[in-house]
A and B are shown apart, each in its own frame.
Chain A
Amino acid sequence: MNRELHSFPGGLRITTHKELSNDKISIITPLPDRIILPLQQHIGTPAEPLVKIGDKVLKGQIIARATGYVSVPVHATTSGRIIDIGDYSVPDSLGLKAPCIVIEPDGDDIWFDIKSTENFESVDPKALQNVIREAGIVGLGGAGFPAHVKLKEGTESAVDTLIINGVECEPHISCDDRLIREKPAYIVAGTRMIRHAVQAKHCVIALEEDMPEAFEALERLIDDDIELIKLPVKYPQGGERQLIKALTGKEVPSGGLPIHIGIVMHNVGTAAAAYRAVTRGEPLISRYVTVTGELPDPRNLQVLIGTPVRHCADLCGYQEKEGEVIILGGPMMGMHVQNMHIPIIKTTNCVLVSSTFNRNPEMPCIRCGECVDVCPAELLPQQLYWHARSRNYERLREYHLFDCIECGCCAYVCPSNIRLVQYYRKAKKEIAQEERARRGADHALQRFIARNERLEREMQEQHDKKDGMSDNIEQETDKRAYIQSAVERTKAKREQLKKTDSGTDE
């Protein structure tokens, strides 16, 4: 408990509004009418369906398997029948649709045959990683990076510190707070399990000062092996790089990963899920979600993954009103969603109903430099803004656009109301696109050169074989006749096609 604390640069002190939801006991959400499970709820390649429409599935059964290394399987979250596999709206900032598996629950909620791993300490760390992967566990903090990848990195190089991140820095969200208060034992056991899986020397659980009850709950359970740290409230302390800086004083190198400085970080939710997966054999099928904002009864819910957002909001007395928006995630980084039929996925931590979103028009930037002072990544948000607007990608890279964590601090303080983060997102997307185009162009160039070489070679060969000329001419006439007849045939066919087309139209 004598760890020297540091502070990360920039950051904000925002009113947290956590009192809206963090005092009430979480309730288990009743089964919805249908469960929509997107095949991609994580960063990486989407899973591949293993079931057909009409199949019966049981709770916890794998219905889509992982493809590739950076991917996790999807499990049925309740027992029922598959009624559709197709494109549905998913949490996506552009409102796009993505492939999903839809289950109609039968109401029995029967568990699939699951088996637990007793006494994890005797299990090989690698086997433990496999168990965690098969349970479909991803980072529950928000990004949704498959957990086993981080664990594997841990076994491949020496891990000095394992940090369990309980810092819920975003305003309004209290699901981790509630989870710790209600299930501290899961977290402590899960922490020990992950520590075993990565073979870490030190282990820290970090919380913020505004969750004293959670702190006490954990304090009662831990021994000397785990440090429990309370940090002053500051946004965005829950960011991976920021928390590492705050706890260890080390900075993750730009473009690098925490493991490069010997640190692995997991969310408390991930730790709890790992515990359940290992000791009980339960895959990741439910999570804590905060439903808060302008609702009659804001609170935390334990939600089956795939439950529509609307179902959760109804439980808290949500009534549709004009001028309100639904935000998935917190007010700083969450995304605005168009409709409420989208499902809660593994990375959804909060459903926020708000009418006080930023509606004011954008004024020109007055270069006040407030954004520079609050940027936790020590970037120059303003310069990035200018270069993003002039699409000067070279400069954007030079100014480290890709180190931006999109925390929204700059846009929050901007007196001109500029949606800075939106510009950065757009620029990042465009740069990625350009890089892809560049790669394509390089590839095309290679093929063009190869073809030219081939043509030259063929020309040379033809030159050498002047004797077989007469044969060639014959062949050529044959070919021409064939093409001519084929053209005739197609014309006739196309006429026919047109007729049938117009016939069906009528």
Chain B
Amino acid sequence: MNEVVQISSPHIHLTASVSKVMRQVVYALIPGILLSVWIFGWGTLIHCLLAVFFALTLEAIILHLRKRPLQMFLYDGSAVVTALLFALTISPFAPWWLNLIGICFAIVVAKHMYGGLGYNMFNPAMAGYIFVLICFPAELTVWPLAKSISDVHAGFADTFSIIFSGQSSITGIDGLSGATALDYMKSQLSGMAMVSEIRTSPLFGSLGGKGSEWIACAWIAGGVWLLLQRIIKWQMPVIFIATLFIISLLFYWSDANIYLSPVFNLFAGGTMLAAFFIVTDPVTASTTPKGRLIYASGIGVITYVIRTWGGYPDGIAFAVLIMNASVPLIDNCTRPKAFGEK
């Protein structure tokens, strides 16, 4: 990178570039974002825009401090993808400073301390999310209720004031928000309730959490488009989903009263977002064919373990970070045999 560009073979090049890849990922996220806005109100959009703004500003400042070409790296779009993924994982009612802190951690610590694009060990969005989750758990557990559950809705102005001042003109913010489906399920299960009883709560839809199940479908649609565009490889999402499905199916069969159904596992929480947009992040995933398999299934297993027995409602972010940390080791151990070595 630091050497003089020399003309060397091959002299032709496929017209792919990092910025094109990132742009397409952003396009694939758009339907899901729009659907979230429709179901959960303006909060998602506000947070997305805020996060993108923070991320680009921070990225520019740090590039300037590190004396790197600003234009080349700012337009590569990786910061935007990180920002969107982060904004989609936090609650739409989360205060603005939470967003700033998370993005700060994601861009500064998880990305640029490791050398910026391509060098980061951990998925920046997930690292930022875990950081705020550990520091401010209360702010993240409050989610707006989906449109079909409650009659009261926060308009644009209300959401805006909730995010920026923490107050709302609507009396009783409690009427607007509640726990997420996974969270509710967890707390009820530890209270010795049966799964079938809990599922009767209005929070749940036919597949996963009410409302969020449709967003999951939008992620699938975006992911499939990316697959068709050959931006991501099919192996990782498929293996991740399959692992999660099979494990939850086994436990579901053993006792349907305390273990969640596989379908619920797939459509609740951020499973689909993770499957198509986070697990497939090439920078932090394994690069060997066998390594990808281990990586994706590892995330599936750890996610299920944390969801079912752990202290946190959703384990995907932790699972991703743990597997990120193991990637170099996996890569080391799964070097494929070279041609003629068999």
Residue positions of A touching B, CB distance < 8 A: 8-9, 14, 93, 171, 241, 245, 251-256, 325, 327, 329, 331-336, 352, 354, 356-370, 372, 376-380, 382-383, 398-400, 403, 406, 408-409, 411-417, 419, 421-422, 425
- B135 near A: Cβ within 8 Å? no
- Which residue of the partner chain, among B12, B116, B117, contacts A358 with CB atoms under 8 Å? B12
- B183 near A: Cβ within 8 Å? no
**Given contacts A363-B118, A364-B1, A364-B116, is CB(A372)–CB(B282) below 8 Å?**
no
A331–B11 Cα distance when bound, in Å, is 5
Chain B contacts for A422, CB-based, 8 A: 6, 8
The answer to whether A359 and B287 have CB atoms under 8 Å apart is: no
11 A-B contacts, Cβ less than 8 Å apart?
A325-B11, A354-B11, A359-B5, A361-B5, A364-B117, A366-B117, A367-B283, A378-B338, A379-B339, A414-B16, A415-B21
The answer to whether B9 and A378 have CB atoms under 8 Å apart is: no
A171–B9 Cα distance when bound, in Å, is 13
**Given contacts A9-B339, A380-B335, is CB(A372)–CB(B289) below 8 Å?**
yes
**Given contacts A361-B72, A364-B119, A367-B285, is CB(A254)–CB(B13) below 8 Å?**
no
Chain B contacts for A334, CB-based, 8 A: 9, 11
The answer to whether B1 and A362 have CB atoms under 8 Å apart is: yes
Residue positions of B touching A, CB distance < 8 A: 1, 5-14, 16-18, 20-21, 72, 76, 78, 115-119, 233, 282-285, 287-289, 292, 331, 335-342
Chain A contacts for B8, CB-based, 8 A: 93, 336, 419, 421-422, 425
- Which residue of the partner chain, among A254, A415, A416, contacts B339 with CB atoms under 8 Å? A254
Chain A contacts for B340, CB-based, 8 A: 241, 251-256, 377, 403
Give 15 new A-B contacts, CB below 8 A, not counting A361-B5, A380-B335, A419-B8. A251-B340, A325-B7, A334-B11, A335-B9, A362-B5, A364-B1, A366-B18, A366-B117, A368-B21, A369-B282, A372-B287, A372-B289, A399-B338, A400-B338, A414-B16
Q: How far is the CB of A142 from chain B (nearest CB, A)?
A: 12
The answer to whether B16 and A415 have CB atoms under 8 Å apart is: yes
Chain B contacts for A255, CB-based, 8 A: 340
5 tightest Cβ-Cβ pairs between the two chains A and B: A408-B10, A364-B118, A368-B282, A415-B16, A400-B338
A404–B256 Cα distance when bound, in Å, is 54
Q: How far is the CB of A188 from chain B (nearest CB, A)?
A: 31
A408–B9 Cα distance when bound, in Å, is 7
**For residue A402, which residue of chain B has the nearest CB?**
B338
Chain B contacts for A333, CB-based, 8 A: 9-10
A403–B331 Cα distance when bound, in Å, is 19
A432–B342 Cα distance when bound, in Å, is 26
The answer to whether A377 and B338 have CB atoms under 8 Å apart is: yes
**Given contacts A361-B72, A380-B287, A399-B335, is CB(A412)–CB(B14) below 8 Å?**
yes
